[in-house]
Amino acid sequence: MSLKTRLSASPLSFDRDAIAEIFAQLALSAAVAVMRVYDTDSHARSKPDKSPVCDADEYAEAIILEGLATQLPQLPVLAEEAAAHGHKPPCGGSFILVDPVDGTREFLSHNGEFTINIGLILGGVPCAGVVYAPAIDRLWMAGAKAYSCNVKPGMPLPPLEERTPIHVRQPPREGWTALASRSHADAETDAFLAGLPINERRCAGSSLKFCAVAEGGADVYPRFGNTMEWDTAAGDAILRAAGGIVLDAAGLPLRYGKAKEQFKNGPFIAWGDPAIATTPKLSPKTLASLSKASRN
């Protein structure tokens, strides 16, 4: 069956695996521009919200948006840099989220922990996604199932038989592994993890944390600071397809398309094994302040 046949005119009946393949090839193409900037002056500057942006963000986003307009014109696209300039198309429950360089701070520090993220939202749920880490030639993708593979920027996506299926793990009896943000450590994360049987805690940048949990390298990733939907959608899709779950502060699966909140996420916990998933054990006062901060 051709790719064109697999893509229905109705977004809710799209072939998620076919969408993931489109996302993967676009990420690989955008990565060429990203890595070209990585080795030169990236012209870093601050956006109005004080977050960093550089040439790589803008070059990659332009490549991805052009490809999506050609291959998936049926779906609106919410992309980080376009949104920063006020372009937020009506999305409804079905749309695409793009973060052209997730982990710009890591990109600028040259530690390699940055990714290109593209996620599909259907009915408010992340249903397909790609996370590509071009500095380490590693790509994670998911539609109905989740896979990883090694591939260099600009190269064709490896065929299915050369991709490795990934799945979350049951937490080890000797203790769990927790992941935390490298650039956004906070007391709330420390307080939450203190109540769990954590044996090892590691820090990482960008959506690599979702992918580590998805492929069974860690058990939990809490995030209480501000994030946007484009930061999490692709990694969330991969984790869910690998058998995990991402819960919000109310203990419900994280939802997307929160236009009234300007597409901001509140606190969330990414879990490998849903059987151990709990809501954040924080005081109502702390949760209220975190929720208020996410709306501002």
- Tens digit of each residue's pLDDT, the chain (296 residues): 444 444 544 554 579 999 999 999 999 999 999 999 898 866 766 666 667 777 888 899 999 999 999 999 999 999 999 998 888 887 878 999 999 999 888 888 888 999 999 999 999 999 999 999 999 999 999 999 999 999 999 999 999 999 999 999 999 999 999 998 766 667 888 888 888 899 999 988 889 999 999 999 999 999 988 899 999 999 999 999 999 999 998 889 999 999 999 999 999 999 999 998 876 554 444 444 444 444 44
Model pLDDT, residue 285 = 47
Model pLDDT, residue 10 = 52
d(CA 218, CA 73): 37
Pair of tokens at residue 159: 């065929």
Model pLDDT, residue 225 = 85
d(CA 229, CA 97): 7
120, containing H or E segment: strand 115-122
Phi first, then psi, for residue 99 (nearest 5°) are -120, 100
> Are 246 and 236 within 8 A, CB to CB?
yes
Model pLDDT, residue 5 = 44
- In order of their start, the domains of the chain are 3-165 (3.30.540.10), 176-295 (3.40.190.80)
Phi first, then psi, for residue 214 (nearest 5°) are -65, -35
d(CA 98, CA 23): 10
Model pLDDT, residue 86 = 87
Model pLDDT, residue 281 = 53
